[in-house]
Amino acid sequence: MAAGSSCTIVEYFGGDDGYRCGYCKNEKGNFSHGMWSHAMTVQDYQDLIDRGWRRSGKYVYKPIMNKTCCPQYTIRCHALNFQPSKTHKKILKKMSKFLSKGEMPTEQGDGDSRTLGKETCAPIHTILISNSSIYSLPPSHPLVLFLFFSLSPSVSSPSGVGADPGRPLCRKAKELRKARRLQKEQKRQVGGGVPASATSNPATPVQLNQPKALEEFITESLPDSPLHRLEVRLVRSNPPSSQFKASFDASYQVYKLYQMAIHHDPPDKPTESQFRRFLCDSPLEMETSPDGPVAGYGSFHQQYWLDGRIVAVGVVDILPTCVSSVYLYYHPDFASLSLGSYSALREVAFTRQLQKQSPKLCFYYLGFYIHSCNKMRYKGQYQPSDLLCPETYVFVPIERCIPSLEQTCYARFNQDPDAGTENTTPNQTDPSLIVQYVETSGLAPDTELSLTPGQFVCWLHCGQTLSLWKTRGCIPNGTLFPT
């Protein structure tokens, strides 16, 4: 990879003091390691988030999992195998109905707290994803009314008896769709010379119900002239592109409105400088690779433009094997469109698009999953997904982790008793999974040490400043070079 800098430089701040937790509000219960990153390669950051670290601006932190009040587990979604749930489909249809007909939902979103707590912070695209569209169930849909009345003990009737007892029993919509598909398939096969009886042979079932891909839901057809037009633009935030600079003020104004309305910040808190530090500044170097995505690696803003103005912005990092969500903010006037969930679905689709350009880029990282905070459990709905074991640093399917988290807020997910922990000697056969810190004192960068490939070394300067170095494979005499 080509990079503007060849090494990662950080300042370590330790993790002995407790801080206020943004989730359970414990005044001294939040414990984490932290470091200020002056520069960082995307591969180093990929290695770090696969060891439980996250960034907020240039500050990189790792919760002390067995000590902090609300353990935060790294969660990733297998983007290539993702299938939208019923809730996700409704959100996409809701957006489509707004775009095509201008109907704004009256309810306030879907309860998605994607940016709640800022993960101190983390929660929450391609080059050109635009004009997403789909149709929606209105609040007065008969299915909603049916569920309402069926739950009322005062309203009941014998089976088959209703407003018109002579009419046949109502059939579920799913059964009706299946019957119609079967009829169409039978007609097609008969028309092609295939006996209709062949379709009923259980030995050769006909595949009629192939699941629709996420992209199909997003790009569902719209009228030729939709009432509203949505465009998603990817702009590089570090170093800032010309498009980022041109739209900076409009983006900041949306952020300010969001912070005041959603997080109840006073008007003087979300300043322009705070916005820059929090969501625009990034330690990640701009990097490109022949087999990487066209946009390159690094930090970006994915802007949602509605009829020529910004209504939402997703902050993301494009890394060697994933798209990592950092934050999402939106205009409060559009809160009922569930923009938190909608943008997450678009980011999953964005990851799938990038994978076509870079085959190993196939995961979507949603930040931290916090089972002890009910409002943060929604991230587990993006399936299939894994949680990072806090002791062995291997990813485990979330369905195998939930039973343990129901019993205790901190848990080891990897049940292999022979699996090593973070204090174990590094596995020399797979150095990509190793990020072990070795503190040294008074050593110059050209000092020779005998280290295992894949180890990180923190060079101590002036008590605080650290330069992060990594060995490159098996180097004779342990000589260190910048990555």
Residues 41-55: pLDDT tens digits? 999 999 999 999 999
Per-residue pLDDT band at 421 (split at 50, 70, 90): low
* pLDDT of residue 131 exceeding 60: no
**Pairing between strand 437-440 and 456-461?**
parallel
* pLDDT of residue 337 exceeding 60: yes
Task: Please identify which residue in the block is written with the tokens 């943008």.
Answer: 343
Gyration radius of the chain over CA positions: 26
pTM passes above 0.85? no
Write out the H or E segment, with its range, that includes residue 265.
Answer: none
> Is the peptide bond preceding residue 70 cis, with omega within 30 degrees of 0?
no
Q: Which tokens is 324 given?
A: 């990592």
Per-residue pLDDT band at 211 (split at 50, 70, 90): confident
More confident of the two residues 371 and 452: 371
Per-residue pLDDT band at 181 (split at 50, 70, 90): confident
Q: What angle do CA 128, 134, 135 make, to 5 degrees?
A: 165
The mean pLDDT of the chain is: 76
CB atoms within 10 A of CB 474: 10
**Residue 270 contacts by C-beta under 8 Å, 6 or more apart in sequence?**
255, 256, 259, 260
* pLDDT of residue 236 exceeding 60: yes
- Evaluated on CA atoms 262, 265, 266, 271, the torsion sign reads negative
More confident of the two residues 58 and 183: 58
* pLDDT of residue 440 exceeding 80: no
Closest C-alpha to 3, from 427, 289, 387: 289
Closest C-alpha to 50, from 392, 444, 461: 392
Length of the chain counted residue by residue: 483
List the strands of the sheet with 309-318, edge to edge. 128-130, 230-238, 298-306, 309-318, 322-330, 363-369, 73-78, 385-388, 395-397
Yes or no: say if 9 and 457 are a contact pair by the CB < 8 Å rule.
no
Per-residue pLDDT band at 306 (split at 50, 70, 90): very high
Per-residue pLDDT band at 268 (split at 50, 70, 90): very high
CB atoms within 10 A of CB 428: 11
Alpha helices in 68-208, H assignment, sequence order: 86-101, 142-150, 173-191
63 vs 20: CA distance, rounded Å: 13
* pLDDT of residue 458 exceeding 60: no
Q: Which tokens is 261 given?
A: 């309305």
